Structure 1
């Protein structure tokens, strides 16, 4: 069987960054890695960050895999051939509700070549439960976790980190706090223990037709093209000035001073600086801005981008 891992966490918690750390660790341990990336508009943005890693990456654009993109996810998993010695990592987008998704992954009788799913929730420790109306979703994503990784702790005081760890443990006392190294060890051990087991016993019956389960969340999204080249300082100012309605913004960008290089950019409210990471873009990669938020104005976003030219 193939170990199955659902990676959850609120927008900007650092799920893809965790992947870029844990994948090389798994490969060093002789584990082959498959990844499914789910994003609102353009999962290829994050796939570009994994381009240099020796992992088989499948991007799923569109809605959350807990509802609108569920069928595509299940079809993708069903098509994976038996592959002892490998692991399947699913990175859900930040608005995913994990409880019913885990139910489908557990009970779908076409997925018995996978283990019952583990769930790793990545938590931005600096912003834990400081998300206003989104606090409930952050707690829900933590409640169903088997493992928790506290991210962005380097700037926190020991008191704040300890307080967050206590509060997370109060939400889910069963979850194990982990790190990329210890999680890679956990998966390596699971891969070895499952190597000679072909299938698990079904846990339930797959319905003949699956429909969105009816939950709603307040997020909307839009992907817009950026100019082919932008001035670095002007782009930094553009990102810093995005309206509060934008909960998360990221994409691909090229700068006038480094026209041959493409960068993945990330902006998360509550952090002082935009995050830039060098990427190895796929052949179809273009400069892009992906905005996720509540009550965003498309006209406003388009006019802000037009001002970059």
Structure 2
């Protein structure tokens, strides 16, 4: 099994620069590196910057890997041969919606030769939250991270650095801050760990996540992301469903599925919880004959019992047909 790392960060955060420092440190530890590099018609330029490193680099020009280039990205991952002792790093372009991409990387059963995705977000400390209407996207890229790296801190005075680090920590209280050497050591250890014990970080079967365990019970490299698909009641109260979505626990990074409402039992809607919001979005759907109302949750240490109980209460509140 191969560790899969999504590297995110806003435009100019320094992702490629970080890779140019990380890859030699991994190589020195005997860990082979594959890189998929996505950018807006610029991927081959950045790939050339990494060409001298001991890494196999695949450039993906075009749109974000979370949308327009997604199929090409997934096909590239499908085609990677088993290579124990290596790591795969996806450098996403700065406009990537990480929660959407994590949803695909977490639930695609054809990626069983990879671990569930880690996410390192590189934060441009000098420009943190100075991006006008893009501030929400920058925060969202931090929110889904499993590891954080503060870049360009040499441009800041001590007070600003402390303020930025505190703001990033408030946005994501779970992910540790790392430096190049510490992250290289951690990835090297993870590659060795999954090479010998794939079960501890494996994807399992289907979309069913393993029951969450306490921090003390987890293996040193147990993966934080998981996913689970749970059936919804055949009909639900619209108002109760909106409240159910609003009350989803903070561990849920992505939530979507299919739903039918008691006040309009004919159509089935695709529902999504909007990123960074407690609101639910409903879109028309044309489901297959065997499609059933369902809820897909992707997140960190998912509280499966609590989610199951919430769905049970949702069914109890459904008006009689």
Q: Which residue of 1 aligns with 2:156?
A: 156
User: TM (normalized to structure 2)?
Assistant: 0.63
Residue 81 to residue 197, structure 1, CA distance change in 2 (3 Å): farther
Contact kept, 8 Å, 1:64 with 1:95, in 2: the verdict is: yes
For the residues of structure 1 that align with 2:13 and 2:55, how far apart are their CA atoms? 22
Q: Which residue of 2 aligns with 1:189?
A: 189
For the residues of structure 1 that align with 2:206 and 2:59, how far apart are their CA atoms? 28
Does residue 139 (structure 1) correspond to residue 139 (structure 2)? The answer is yes
Contact kept, 8 Å, 1:143 with 1:171, in 2: the verdict is: yes
For the residues of structure 1 that align with 2:101 and 2:153, how far apart are their CA atoms? 29
Q: Which residue of 2 aligns with 1:7?
A: 7
For the residues of structure 1 that align with 2:205 and 2:176, how far apart are their CA atoms? 26
For the residues of structure 2 that align with 1:140 and 1:26, how far apart are their CA atoms? 28
**CA offsets 1:220-240 (integer angstroms, 9 cap, x no match):** xxxxxxxxxxxxxxxxxxxxx
Which residues of 2 match residues 172-251 of structure 1 at below 5 A? 172-197=172-197, 200-204=203-207
Give 1:197 shift: 4.3
Give 1:42 shift: 2.5
SS in 2 for 1:150: strand
Q: Which residue of 1 aligns with 2:318?
A: none
Q: Which residue of 2 aligns with 1:95?
A: 95
Does residue 42 (structure 1) correspond to residue 45 (structure 2)? The answer is no
For the residues of structure 2 that align with 1:82 and 1:24, how far apart are their CA atoms? 22
Give 1:158 shift: 1.0
Q: What CA RMSD, in Å, does the superposition of the two structures yield over aligned residues?
A: 1.9
SS in 2 for 1:141: helix
| Runs of 4+ with deviation above 4 angstroms | none
Q: Which residue of 1 aligns with 2:119?
A: 119
Q: Which residue of 1 aligns with 2:18?
A: 18
Which structure would you say has the larger RCO, counting Cα contacts within 8 Å and 6 or more residues apart? 1
For the residues of structure 2 that align with 1:202 and 1:152, how far apart are their CA atoms? 41
Contact kept, 8 Å, 1:8 with 1:93, in 2: the verdict is: yes
Structure 1 runs not aligned, ≥5 long: 206-212, 215-309
Give 1:201 shift: 1.1
User: TM (normalized to structure 1)?
Assistant: 0.65
Q: Which residue of 2 aligns with 1:129?
A: 129
Which residues of 2 match residues 56-75 of structure 1 at below 5 A? 56-75=56-75
Give 1:66 shift: 0.2
Q: Which residue of 2 aligns with 1:291?
A: none
Structure 2 runs not aligned, ≥5 long: 209-270, 273-321
SS in 1 for 2:153: coil
For the residues of structure 2 that align with 1:132 and 1:37, how far apart are their CA atoms? 26
Give 1:100 shift: 1.3
